[in-house]
A and B are shown apart, each in its own frame.
Chain A
Amino acid sequence: MATTVSSILSQCLQIPVDSITPDLAINGAWQWDSIGHLELMMHLEENHGISITEDTILECSSVTGLCQTLGLDL
Chain B
Amino acid sequence: MTKDLPDRFESPPSSKTLETGTRNVVDRILERADTHPDAIAFWIQGEHLSYGDMKAGINMIAACLRSLREEGMDAPVAIIADRSKDSYLAMLASLMVGLPFLPLHPKHPASRSCAALDQCESKTLVAGAESLATVRELLTLQDHPITLIWTGTEDPLEGLEFHRHSVRAPVKPDVESVPSRDVVAENRVAYILFTSGSTGTPKGVTVSHANLLAYVDAITRLYRPTPTDRLSQVFDQTFDLAMHDIFVGLSSGSSIYVVPEREQQSPGGFIRRHALTFWFSTPSTAALMQRVGALKPGTFPSIRLSLFCGEALPRDLAGSWAVAAPTSRVENLYGPTEATIAITRFAIEDTPRHDDGGVVPIGFPFQCQVAALCGPDGEFIEAREDAEGELILSGSQVSLGYWRDGARTDEKFPTNMKADPEHRRWYRTGDLARYKEATGFHFLGRIDDQVKIRGHRVELAEIEIALKNASGSALVAAVAWPRTTFGSDGVVGFVCGSEKPEDTIRERCAALVPVYMVPRRVIILDEMPINTSGKIDRAALVAQLEGGTT
Interface set of A (CB-CB < 8 Å, partner B): 14, 25-27, 30, 33-35, 37-38, 41, 52-55, 57-58, 61-62
Contacts and interface: CB of A to CB of B under 8 A. Distances in A.
Contacts of A33: 515-516
A27 B294 CA distance: 22
Contacts of B510: 30
Contacts of B265: 26, 34, 37-38, 57-58, 61
Nearest to B490: A35
Contact of B454 (A26, A35, A41): A35
Contacts of B520: 35
B269 interface: yes
Interface of B: 107, 261-266, 268-269, 288-289, 291-294, 454, 489-490, 503, 506, 510, 515-516, 518, 520
A64 to B, nearest CB: 12
A26 B515 contact: no
Contacts of A62: 262
A73 B454 CA distance: 33
A25 B503 CA distance: 21
A58 B268 CA distance: 11
B83 to A, nearest CB: 12
B292 A26 contact: no
A26 B264 CA distance: 10
Contacts of B289: 54
B292 A61 contact: no
A30 B269 contact: no
B288 A27 contact: no
Contact of B518 (A27, A30, A53, A57): A30
Contact of B489 (A27, A35, A55): A35
A52 to B, nearest CB: 5
Contacts of A57: 265-266, 292
Given A27-B107, A57-B265, A52 B489 contact: no
Given A27-B261, A34-B454, A58 B292 contact: no
B450 to A, nearest CB: 20
A30 B490 CA distance: 13
Contact of A30 (B264, B288, B515): B515
A54 B107 contact: no
Contact of A38 (B288, B293, B294): B288
Contact of B293 (A25, A34, A54): A54
Contacts of A53: 292-293
Given A54-B269, A61-B265, A30 B107 contact: yes
B518 A54 contact: no
B500 to A, nearest CB: 15
Nearest to B107: A27
Contacts of B262: 25-26, 58, 61-62
Central interface residue in A14, A54, A58, A61, by most chain B CB within 10 Å: A54
18 contacts: A26-B265, A30-B107, A30-B518, A33-B516, A34-B265, A34-B288, A35-B454, A35-B489, A35-B520, A52-B291, A52-B293, A53-B293, A54-B269, A57-B266, A57-B292, A58-B262, A58-B265, A58-B269
Contacts of B266: 54-55, 57-58
Nearest to B502: A14
Contacts of B107: 27, 30
Contacts of A58: 262-263, 265-266, 269
Nearest to B285: A34
A14 B269 contact: no
Nearest to B514: A30
Contacts of B293: 52-54
Contacts of A41: 292
B508 to A, nearest CB: 12
Given A35-B454, A35-B490, A53-B292, A26 B503 contact: no
Contacts of A25: 262
A59 B107 CA distance: 23
A29 to B, nearest CB: 9
A61 B267 CA distance: 13
A54 B490 contact: no
A15 B265 CA distance: 20
A62 to B, nearest CB: 8
Contacts of B269: 54, 58
A52 B266 CA distance: 11
A26 B266 CA distance: 12
Nearest to A35: B489
Contacts of B506: 14
Nearest to A32: B515
A57 B489 CA distance: 18
Nearest to A27: B261
Contacts of B261: 26-27
B284 to A, nearest CB: 8
Contacts of A52: 291-293
Contacts of A54: 266, 268-269, 289, 292-294
A48 B240 CA distance: 39
Nearest to A14: B503
A30 B106 CA distance: 12
A26 to B, nearest CB: 6
A14 B518 CA distance: 13
Q: Which 4 A-B pairs have the closest CB atoms?
A: A57-B266, A30-B510, A54-B266, A54-B294
Nearest to B288: A38
A54 B490 CA distance: 23
Nearest to A37: B265
A39 to B, nearest CB: 9
